[in-house]
Amino acid sequence: MRESTLSNWRHFDFWLLGAVALLVIFGITMIRSAIAGNIELVELDLVQRQLIFAGAGFVVILIVALIDYHLWAAVCRTMYIILFVVLFALYVVGAAFFGSARWFDTGVILIQPSEIAKIVMILALASFFSRSQNETHDIRWIIRSFLMTMGITIWILLQPNLSTSIVMFVLWLAMLWASGLRIKHIVIFTLVGLAFLLIAVPLMIRYDVILEDYQLQRIVNFISPDPNARHGETYNIEQALISIGSGGLLGQGYGHGSQVQLRFLKVRHSDFIFSAMAQEFGFVGIVVMLMVLLFVIYRCVRAARIARDTYGGLIAYGVAVMIAFQVIVNIGVNLRLMPATGLTLPFVSYGGSSLLSILLGIGLVESVILRHKALEFTGR
């Protein structure tokens, strides 16, 4: 018989919780600096909203940690269906009244279902791969998991929300790999992927099948930026690079970043908060922040390694991949190593739905740790 959750409470990963708390507090502090002097943003009470979401998120961590993660395997199919209906309804309503939509406006807060979809997809794929671990890992196994992923992702892609759709596919590929993807299938995937990139994607772009105009423009600006641009994506990327470069070793000081405080850098409280931090805290501050993020990812991977079973291991691994991928993409955009996307910097950027979904993921990791194999945990 398993030990009760309360008796296992001593295994709760307080190091992980502490690192997450540090990042969230730092993020809220940075949001406050980023919006200072901007009356429109200050009036929206973004700092207070983020504080509320953060407080609710830490309560969610504790509640989810107390719930045996095996319970989610029993209800993930229902959650999948509900999410499918919600995303379908959002697409229909958005297309009918607004042209497109990603959020439900409750009148108080905006809810973005695609953020919660990441967690639901992790749970659904973990359940599928753990149940099929003794089956033959042939092409049918891959196709079934792909169709499961597409069932949710298609509605996110049609919003349109390409960046979150890519996250969903990355989660699928990562968990597929962790579940025993064969080398021959990797070779097949590589060849099909190259063919798709070289043949299908250009045709789809030409006939506006896969990308909206603004998404295509982001790619064009990344490949061949206009050096004389004074607005739009190109301008903001240039401002981000100026912000990062002018931060130097120790930064210009909290609340004293020139590009930030004079509002040359746009979207500095969300997508480009990394550049704002680099200018105000410098190279040293950014390195410290990245080390804490890497520590969080490491603790999630460690939870996957010591998990009691495959299902728990895949949940923790999926959360680690989600956080790591978003960190890489967000920083890559700020450094102009990737085209502009809408992915936030986990725990740090402004965004209630994003913060809640990531903290929910941390709660799931803590639930796995609480019920891990005690023998493997000892002495670590």
Asked whether the predicted pLDDT for residue 21 surpasses 90, the reply is yes
pLDDT number for residue 280: 92
Contact 360, 64 (CB under 8 A): yes
In a domain, 138, yes or no: yes
Work out whether strand 110-111 and strand 104-105 pair parallel, antiparallel, or are unpaired.
Answer: antiparallel
Asked whether the predicted pLDDT for residue 231 surpasses 60, the reply is no
Highest mean pLDDT among 31-40, 208-217, 249-258: 249-258
Q: Which residue in 321, 309, 297 sits closest to 368, CA to CA?
A: 309
In a domain, 2, yes or no: no
Give, in order, the Cα–Cα distances in Å from 199 to each of 95, 191, 256: 29, 12, 49
Contact 337, 193 (CB under 8 A): no
Distance, in Å, from the CA atom of 298 to the CA atom of 277, rounded to the nearest integer, reads 23
Residue-wise pLDDT for 331-341, tens only, equals 998 988 888 77
In a domain, 1, yes or no: no
The residues near 127 (Cβ < 8 Å, ≥ 6 apart) are 72, 73, 76, 77, 311
In a domain, 146, yes or no: yes
Its domain, for residue 171, covers 9-377
160 cis-preceded (ω within 30 degrees of 0): yes
In a domain, 209, yes or no: yes
| Average pLDDT rounded to a whole number, residues 114-119 | 90
196: DSSP letter? I
Residue-wise pLDDT for 344-376, tens only, equals 899 999 988 889 999 999 999 999 999 876 544
N residues, the chain:
380
* Secondary-structure percent of the chain, ordered helix, strand, coil, rounded to 5: 70, 0, 30
| Average pLDDT rounded to a whole number, residues 226-246 | 75
323 vs 7, higher pLDDT: 323
pLDDT number for residue 312: 94
In a domain, 184, yes or no: yes
In the chain, the N- to C-terminal Cα span, in Å, equals 24
In a domain, 4, yes or no: no
Number of helices (H), then strands (E), in the chain: 16, 2
Distance, in Å, from the CA atom of 348 to the CA atom of 272, rounded to the nearest integer, reads 11
Contact 76, 364 (CB under 8 A): no
Distance, in Å, from the CA atom of 348 to the CA atom of 293, rounded to the nearest integer, reads 10
In a domain, 3, yes or no: no
Percent of the chain past pLDDT 70, that is, above it, reads 78
Residue-wise pLDDT for 203-227, tens only, equals 555 555 555 555 555 555 555 566 5
Burial of 71: CB neighbours in 10 Å, binned 0-12, 13-18, 19+: exposed
Task: Show contacts of 240-245: CB within 8 Å, 24+ apart.
Answer: 240/265, 240/272, 240/275, 240/334, 240/335, 240/336, 241/275, 241/335, 241/336, 243/272, 243/275, 243/276, 243/278, 243/279, 244/274, 244/275, 244/278, 244/279, 244/334, 244/335
Distance, in Å, from the CA atom of 349 to the CA atom of 273, rounded to the nearest integer, reads 6
Contact 8, 306 (CB under 8 A): no
| Average pLDDT rounded to a whole number, residues 230-258 | 82
- The alpha carbon torsion through 122, 127, 129, 132 (nearest 10 deg) reads -170
Average pLDDT, the chain: 82
| Average pLDDT rounded to a whole number, residues 239-246 | 88
Distance, in Å, from the CA atom of 340 to the CA atom of 330, rounded to the nearest integer, reads 9
